A = this chain, B = another copy of it.
Amino acid sequence: MPEKDSKGNEGNKGYNNATEGDKDAYEKLTNMGKRMVGEIKEGMSPTFITAIRSRSNIFVDEKKGFLKLGDKRETRRFLNLSQAKTFMQTIAVANKTKQFIEQGLHTSIRGLYYQLKFTLGEDLDENMFEEQTESNALIEDLEASLAIKREDLHLTTDRKGVLAGPIKIVDRFGGDEITIDGQKQGRSGWMIPSDVDNGMEIESVDANYVLVVEKDALWQRLNEDKFWKKEKAIIITPKGQSSRGTRRLLRKLADLGLPIYCFMDADAWGWYIYWTIKTGSMNLAYLGQDFTVPEARFVGVTMSDIKTYDFLQKLTIKAKDVDIKRANDMMNYPWIKKHEEWVRELKLVLKTKKKLEQDALQGPRLTFVGEYLREKIGNGDVLP
């Protein structure tokens, strides 16, 4: 990377604090540009090569157990009437994010959109830069093409996970360095940021396992009971579907050899959250193994729990159509139907037409949630 910011008029850290991710992304962006310049010099149309992200190119990595893209590639040419506009926009995105790395500054996809609109004017599809809609196709193109993460392009993403427990994390940010002690986060917990790689390291862990709790309300319940202290566990809530930061952190914790147990509702949404953590999802298959945790196990709640814990029988509620549909769909996914435990569980849902929420474990007494988890994890009574 160059010695200083070529613009010189902004940036608060610049190159001096470049992380490994910065350097990797910067080099790949630079090489892509050089290749295109080379093509132009040879009188050819510049090309952009990226992986095809449609279903025809999504596969299950059978050995490791996650969804990934196949080898199909797409080559886009600037001198192609139907591709010229997208091509130009992709290059503009690459150029802007390269500047962000030079400046040592971050922004959201929406911020990137306005930077481009400022430069290029009206000729931009704003929906391509709506993070919420997952239609930020240009960013995905770059990620897939260069095999980098958008976080390395200095793009921040939605964040909402929370953590507590016996772990220390170093955060080097904006010239400061702080150590986050997961045991000293009080009632709030530590908010998992957008980027858990660049300038961030796990300093030490003294935990037996990681517990992922679907709902923040249950996480607060366990945090109040100091479950993380009694069990020596790191407790994390993704607050529903996991953010990128949370999924990436779970991968890093699994890489340290920690078992990852997931505690979700027994319904369509709970299963979806679990399987997205474990195998990824169709939409995000291009992210590959850096964002999936095939080792994850499902501790509950399950409809089979009713056999062990009688009282849950009267705390089940009526399954919705979406739960029934999802249960049916799941039984046909090859990576799910191969597990007989899951097939048995899903059949129970279809038979009873009932669902069970994790909140129901508070029925007999508020502290029962922790008792349940200790017992099930202790007995290894989990689904694959």
Contact = CB atoms under 8 A, between A and B. Distances in A.
A345 interface: no
Interface residues of A, number: 67
Contacts of A158: 216
A176 interface: yes
Contact of A107 (B190, B199, B357, B366): B366
A322 interface: no
Interface stretch (A32-40, A48-56, A64-72, A116-124): A116-124
A114 B360 contact: yes
A183 B311 CA distance: 47
Contacts of A12: 224-226, 367
Contacts of A286: none
A110 interface: yes
Contacts of A208: none
B366 A108 contact: no
A105 interface: yes
Contacts of A225: 12, 174
Nearest to A226: B174
Contacts of A190: 188, 191
Interface of A: 9-10, 12, 100, 103, 105-108, 110-111, 113-115, 117-118, 121-122, 126, 156, 158-160, 162, 171, 173-176, 178, 180, 184-195, 199-200, 216-217, 220-221, 223-226, 311, 314-315, 317, 357, 359-367
Number of copies: 2
Given A126-B317, A187-B193, A365 B9 contact: yes
Contacts of A194: 187, 220
B180 A105 contact: no
Contacts of A226: 12, 174-175
Given A118-B311, A176-B186, A192-B188, A156 B220 contact: yes
A122 B314 contact: yes
A236 to B, nearest CB: 13
Contacts of A359: 108, 110-111, 113-114
A328 B220 CA distance: 41
Contacts of A366: 10, 100, 103, 105-107, 111, 115
